[in-house]
Amino acid sequence: MIPPRFIRALVVAGVEANGPHPWDIQIYDADVFARVRLDGLTGLGDAYVDGLWDCESLDQFFARALGADLGRGLWLSRDVLLTYLIERVSNLQTMARSRRNVERHYNLGNDLFKAMLDPLMVYSCGYWRHADDLAVAQLAKLDLVCRKVGMRPGMRVLDIGCGWGGLAKFAAERYGVSVVGITLSQEQLAYGREACRGLPVDLRLCDYRAVSETFDRAVSIGMFEHVGPKNYGSYMRAVERCLTPDGLALLHFFASRESFPNTSSSEVNWITKHIFPGMVVPSLKQVGAAIDGLFVLEDLHNFGADYDPTLMAWHENFDRAWPSLKGVYGDRFYRMWKYYLLMAAGAFRARKYQLWQLVLSRRGVPDGYQTVR
């Protein structure tokens, strides 16, 4: 029997248990309800991976469920409270912990990410304003980043969290800059060095806190979510320290509408448990506090709605490539990865999260910064 509270919560979101619509959830085992009662959305996700329930269109289910803010009621659990307490007393993103966190996700296998991502292996939100496929959207995003910070031939650029070297390769080839890229993933480093062979690109296994050189520009795309609230200030001081007096920095990150502890965003707990250990989604307020006294905020741009088509494209690529990946990763991984991508797509479709790009200067751009879109 389905608990009445569960039914009432789903009705608010326009979802039925065992209903006929593609966004309705199909319950195969009543243990789902006990897991949700104890562990909220973490329990719901674990029950999905275990095959206790299913949904034809997970992205539509989550767009409705998260849009109705069910996380503030039905899904609030011991899991959220425990995460809050741990984060309050511990720094989960020290240099040693950050490396272990990165290794657990980004060293899963370059075959997986190559199958899922675009040709440049860009693992962050694309820019879909004039794009109709993932590769074009990612090229547009990289070009937008380069134009926003005014890259010019001869400049020296720091890429914080360089991934597989996509931005470094693009900027070196298209804008004539030299790039130092830093990552904590051996797999990313090996792939990126090969991809950037022959270009003025130096990719290193290095933490942002250890950078001591000076650069004309600094860019960070999709890395700040792994910094953690206890380190926001030290991160911004590290960026400020490595910039020339007239340098510019661009910070690209997705953000919650609430500052941590954002207890209505309990879906993040499942993702940190299984996908991105150590991840804490920042808020714009927290980032603003971290740049206070260090930078002039020259530009602020939100294109969070573009993460929905990006994630859906990643899922389509992953699903299409699964027959070639199945022997390595197994069926349980398939359900976990599918759940991650489609839950995230639904969350961005519901505008529960935003995607921000900030352009920062140390002393202010003389005569004012010219906005680039």
The average confidence (pLDDT) of the chain is: 92
Name the percent of the chain lying above pLDDT 70.
93
Q: Which tokens is 75 given?
A: 């899904």
pLDDT tens, residue by residue, 145-203? 999 999 999 999 999 999 999 999 999 999 999 999 999 999 999 999 999 999 999 99
Helix axes 31-49, 78-89, angle to 10 degrees: 60
Which pLDDT score, from 0 to 100, does residue 263 have?
A: 47
CB 372 within 8 A of CB 144: yes
- Cα 314 to chain centroid distance, Å, stands at 13
- Hey, what are 273's tokens? 């448990």
Q: Is the dihedral of CA 340, 346, 352, 355 positive or negative?
A: positive
- Give the pLDDT band of residue 134 (cuts 50, 70, 90): very high
Domains of the chain, with CATH numbers? 4-76 (no CATH), 94-361 (3.40.50.150)
pLDDT surpassing 70 at residue 75? no
The model scores a pTM over 0.75: yes
Phi, psi of 87 (to 5 degrees): -65, -30
- pLDDT digit string, tens, across residues 264-298: 456 788 999 999 998 999 999 999 999 999 999 99
Structure tokens at 214: 């000076």
Place of tokens 């899904």: 75
Q: What is the pLDDT of residues 3-16, one digit of tens each?
A: 887 888 888 899 99
